[in-house]
Chain A
Amino acid sequence: MKCTVCRGPAIIDLRRHNANFCGDHFLKFCRDQVAKAISQHDMIAPGQRVLVAVSGGKDSLALWDLLVELGYDVEGMTIGLGIGDYSDASTAASVAFAESRGLPLRRIDLRGDYGYDIPTAAAVTRRVPCSSCGTSKRHLIDSAALDGGFDVVATGHNLDDEAAVLLGNVLHWHTAYLGRQAPVLPGRDGFPRKVKPLVRLSERETAAYCVVRGIDYIVDECPMAEGNRHLRYKEALNSIEAASPGTKHAFYFEFLDKAADRFRPEAAEAQEGLRPCATCGSPTTADVCAFCRLVDRVSDADPVPVELLRAGRGRGGNASNRNKNRTKVNR
């Protein structure tokens, strides 16, 4: 297999682009795709300060690396979620990457700074851990961006992520969510501008970018996310993609082009009545925002180690329900 560009030995085949690449031209391909996404969707203007949300995983580290390569003014931020060894290793990967590149990295630790962690929150709230995890990360990154005077927040969402979220929203016809799904969320009162520069790259491509660039990232998955619905949507889409390369790209980008506008009215309606949180000032439809309510409820609760919470527990369900509802996965 030869590189489409230089005819040297190829190390990766991208059927959806009908192209194969050697290492150097694959890296260039990735940079070009990110530059195209930033340009096409007006994500970042020259001279703007970018805060990139970093987890230690392949997407956020690839994103940070790519934004630096493309010449943007970027600072990283990582949050210690307290999910046992997984969080320790994730933070270590983020710190190691930042130090090896001489890049500034802000750090927050949920346990140290707010008196709770995600396993404890899951146990106390009796909701899926992804709920308190998402609430915490979004609030803390948005606040850091606004307090730190950043112009834009960049997250590592890739094509597979966006296509899977879109599939879930379509399957359930969550029309308000459909109206808000976009590569760019404009800044408004209390919300920073948020962009997803990796949307043109698939997960296989962001992983390959890290391997080719020699970026050490956390390969193991979050132990609390086992068997979740989002993953099943990704597998379903990849089954289709394997038979029809290019499907994920068409699904997401044609949605943006041809259908997204139709759902804007529902999305706008769902966001009416936002006002500042009585505790922290962040936008909320309630008196106190979800993050402050969460902290109030779980901080200083007795810590629950993640090892005690297997998938299914802390979800408001029980073990027998968990096994019944799991779809058989083709390994």
Chain B
Amino acid sequence: MRVLLRNPRRELDLAGPVTVTGLLNQLELNRESVLVVRDDTLVPGDALLNDDDVVEIRPVISGGVA
């Protein structure tokens, strides 16, 4: 599964299947500060992500770069 991250832009290759919540926990990302987007649509916490998925983890916090 390809995972696209921003600020700075980078890509990770991770194994599915994993839930969205599971992925955020794995990457130690706070669920309050990101949206997860697959095929231009939001996916909620319990959605299952598979090996062939491409997801973007989009930061939502404005005011600077971490």
**How would you classify the secondary structure of chain B's contact residues: helix, strand, loop or mixed?**
loop
* In contact, B58 and A221 (Cβ under 8 angstroms): no
Which parts of A8-33 form the interface with B (CB within 8 Å)? 10-13, 20, 23
Question: What are the interface flags for B16-53 relative to A under an 8 Å C-beta threshold, 1 for contact and 0 otherwise?
Answer: 00000000000111111111010011111111000000
Chain B CB within 8 A of A75 CB: no
Cβ contact within 8 Å between A238 and B43: no
Q: Contact between B64 and A235 (Cβ–Cβ < 8 Å)?
A: no
Chain B, interface size: which category? 20 to 34
Most A-side CB within 10 Å, residue of B7, B41, B44, B65: B65
Given contacts A10-B44, A330-B28, contact A204 B33 (CB under 8 A): yes
Known: A12-B44, A20-B44, A208-B35. A57 touches B62 (CB 8 A): yes
Min CB distance A282 to B, Å, is 26
A203 contacts partner chain B, Cβ-Cβ < 8 Å: yes
Q: In the complex, A25 Cα to B64 Cα: how many Å?
A: 31
Q: Which of B30, B59, B63 contacts A239 (CB 8 A)?
A: B30
Residue of A nearest to B41 (CB): A11
A329 x B66 contact (CB < 8 A)? yes
Give complex CA distance A220, B6 in Å: 8
Contact, CB under 8 Å: A221 / B7: yes
CA distance A230 to B61 in the complex (A): 10
Q: A5 at the A/B interface (Cβ < 8 Å)?
A: no
Interfacial chain A residues near B66, Cβ < 8 Å: 227, 231, 235, 329, 331
Chain A contacts for B35, CB-based, 8 A = 204, 207-208, 211
What residues of chain A lie closer than 8 Å to B61, measured between beta carbons?
A: 160, 203, 231, 234-235, 238
Q: Give B42 Cβ to nearest chain A Cβ, in Å.
A: 4
Residue among B29, B32, B42, B62 making CB contact with A212, cutoff 8 Å: B42
The interface residues of chain B lying within 8 Å CB-to-CB of A1 are 44-47
Taking CB atoms, residues of chain B closer than 8 Å to A223 are: 65
CB-contact partner of A221 in B32, B33, B63, under 8 A: B63
Q: How far is the CA of A239 from the CA of B29 in the complex (A)?
A: 10
A203 close to B60 (CB less than 8 A): yes
CA–CA, A191 and B55, complex, Å: 45
Bound form: Cα–Cα A222–B33 in Å: 17
Which one of B27, B35, B58, B64 has the highest number of Cβ atoms from chain A below 10 Å of its Cβ? B64
Contact B64–A221 (Cβ < 8 Å): yes
A142 within 8 A of B: no
Select which of A202, A214, A230, A330 is within 8 A of B63 by beta carbon. A230
B28, A207: Cβ atoms closer than 8 Å: no
Q: A148-167: which residues lie under 8 A (CB-CB) from chain B?
A: 160-161, 164
CA separation between A57 and B59, bound complex, in Å?
13
Besides A161-B63, A206-B60, 8 more A-B contacts (Cβ < 8 Å) are: A1-B46, A1-B47, A13-B46, A203-B62, A211-B40, A221-B62, A231-B63, A238-B61
* 11 sample A-B contacts, Cβ–Cβ < 8 Å, listed by A number: A10-B44, A12-B44, A219-B6, A226-B65, A231-B66, A234-B63, A235-B66, A238-B32, A239-B30, A242-B30, A331-B29
| Chain A residues at the B interface, C-beta cutoff of 8 Å | 1, 10-13, 20, 23, 57-59, 160-161, 164, 202-204, 206-208, 211-212, 214, 219-223, 225-228, 230-231, 234-235, 238-239, 241-242, 329-331
